[in-house]
Amino acid sequence: QVQVVESGGDSVQAGGSLRLSCAASGAGYSSVCMSWFRQVAGKGREGVASIYVGSGSTYYADSVKGRFTISQDLAKNKVFLQMNSLEPEDSAMYYCAAARAVSTSFCRRSVNGQGVGYNNWGQGTQVTVSS
């Protein structure tokens, strides 16, 4: 079981930046994919970015490529999402999630999915971008 806790959500103006953090305990960290998803009330959840912990390989949804960066600090068991050039369309509840014993292919596909196969979720952190 992996426990994840997100933080860092806030309200910012368009063009601004935020850095979300995800503290992951109990990961074991072999064959683990850590991902960020987001959801707007009344809409489905969408993948944003993923990182395969073992290799550090990263994957991004097309909508955030070039603006968002996912990274990890293995010593601190943390995953980060640096969000730059924020747009009002980025406003959502952002969730960190972990999937254990999965492949890099699973991790890569996660950014185009809604989080199927992820068993460990945080409570979410709200990001609001105003125009």
The pLDDT tens digits of the residues spanning 40-83 come to 999 999 999 999 998 999 999 999 999 999 999 988 889 999 99
**pLDDT classification of 2: cutoffs 50, 70, 90:** confident
**pLDDT classification of 27: cutoffs 50, 70, 90:** low
pLDDT at residue 109 in the model: 97
Q: Residue 104 belongs to what H/E stretch?
A: helix 104-110
Distance CA 21, CA 27 (A): 16
Q: Give the mean pLDDT of the chain.
A: 94
Section 110-125 average pLDDT: 94
Edge-to-edge order in the sheet of strand 3-7: 3-7, 18-25, 78-83, 68-73
Section 4-22 average pLDDT: 97
pLDDT at residue 66 in the model: 98
Which amino acid is located at 45 in the chain? R
8 A C-beta contact, residue 5 and residue 75: no
pLDDT at residue 71 in the model: 97
